[in-house]
Amino acid sequence: MLAETWRLIDTGLLDGPTNMAIDEALLANFTPETSTPVLRLYGWSPPALSLGRFQKAAEVLDLDRCREAGVPIVRRITGGGVIYHAEVLTYSLVCSPSHLPAATSIKESFRHLTSFLLAFYRSLGLAAEYAVDLLPAGAAYRKEGERRLCRRA
């Protein structure tokens, strides 16, 4: 059954360890058969770096430089690369597959899960699109010249 109602939690600005602990607690206490899906909104204070679940900090960051700059490092329970969180609105979603329309791929599931963001941005008059949809046919999305705090040279 598709979920029409979601629980909204706005925790405001919190430090990195607290943000990650709340995300972990929401997931650990979620029962797919009976829990209402959750959308959590939050920010980061102070700014922090979050590592993907399987990343090795020493391989992707200059840890001494991060320490000298006073930039906290935390680990997310999800995969992906290093993210610098400063003045951004972050969201986390906790739901079961039964709360979503059937999807044929992870990318399609991602689109279902994040479509509310595009709709919200468009309601504000912004021309919001997925970056991959703006590419010419056959082109690949690649980040170039990205600067990351504390990254090894």
Q: Are residues 21 and 64 in the same domain?
A: yes
Residue in 150, 151, 152, 153 annotated catalytic: 150
Residue 70 has pLDDT above 80, yes or no: yes
How many domains does the chain fold into? 2
Q: Are residues 94 and 28 in the same domain?
A: yes
Residue 145: band (very low, low, confident or very high) from pLDDT cuts 50, 70, 90: very low
Q: Are residues 112 and 82 in the same domain?
A: no
For residues 62 and 41, is the Cβ–Cβ distance under 8 A? no
Q: Are residues 34 and 108 in the same domain?
A: no
Residue 125 tokens read as 């008059």
Residue 35 has pLDDT above 60, yes or no: yes
CA distance 40 to 149: 26
Beta strands 48-51 and 83-85, pairing class:
antiparallel
**66 is annotated as an active-site residue:** no
| Residues 102-114: tens digit of each pLDDT | 878 888 888 888 8
Name the residue range of residue 106's domain: 101-135
Residue 152 has pLDDT above 70, yes or no: no
